[in-house]
Amino acid sequence: MAARPVPAGVAAAGRADVLPETASVYWRPRVGAELLRRRGRVWTLNTVAHTVPFVAVAALLLLLEPLSFPVAAILLVHAWTIPELHARRGAGVLRPVRRRAAAAPDAEEARRAETVALGLLGDLVGHAARDLHRRTGLVLERGRLGVWLVGERGAVMLRPGGRRVDCWCVRAAGDELPPADRTAHLLLALRADEQGFATVANLAFSGAPWRLRRRLAARARPALKDARRAAARLDRRSKPTP
């Protein structure tokens, strides 16, 4: 799930038209709504191609020999597990970065740095987003492509309507950055160039939000629920009035 880092310098760059990091992935087409739809269809077809053979063989075994039920059950479990593993990989982009235990002086310094980073992140978002980050560790951001949830390791985007989710893995440069600082850097990169952000990041999962929710930590699930609601409203606003 590793992706090219978004450097901390993006914070100083402000709202640039195009992220400079897109030059390092020049072979990738710039992500837009149509490309997202095509990728979603390809992801679905790939999942179907991996799961349907297991289901078909299980059905054939039961048809030929009902006593083969144990083998058929194993095949069906495999068919269920494949998309679950994909969703687990997608949920990983919203998991906090693991950190090694530090000595007391270092731990105190890390707490002070995180307090400062939380203050800076709070200046970038509104009251509701600050409250959501306090509860879940994630920041909700509305974009042109959809509604985003930004964490330390990457971001999740609910497409307009909230019926499909895309998980993007990317990291901020600087292994010692406080958690809120990592989130702030990714948020700034997303605001500077949403399409470029999705171009640089690696797609870790694309599918149904309910499948992703099953693999999220309990703390992160309310953020996904809020993002789905916001994406549903975004879809209603985008529909023409009769």
Whether residue 51 is contained in a domain is answered as yes
Whether residue 4 is contained in a domain is answered as no
pLDDT, residue 14, reads 40
pLDDT per residue over 30-76, tens digit each?
999 999 999 999 999 999 999 999 999 999 999 998 888 999 999 99
| CA pair distance 198, 146, nearest whole angstrom | 11
Q: How many domains does the chain have?
A: 1
Whether residue 2 is contained in a domain is answered as no
For the whole model, what pTM was predicted? 0.81
pLDDT, residue 168, reads 94
| CA pair distance 228, 105, nearest whole angstrom | 42
Whether residue 111 is contained in a domain is answered as yes
Whether residue 68 is contained in a domain is answered as yes
- Residue of 170 and 113 predicted with greater confidence: 170
pLDDT, residue 180, reads 77
Structural domain including 88 reads 10-238
pLDDT average, residue stretch 163-191: 83
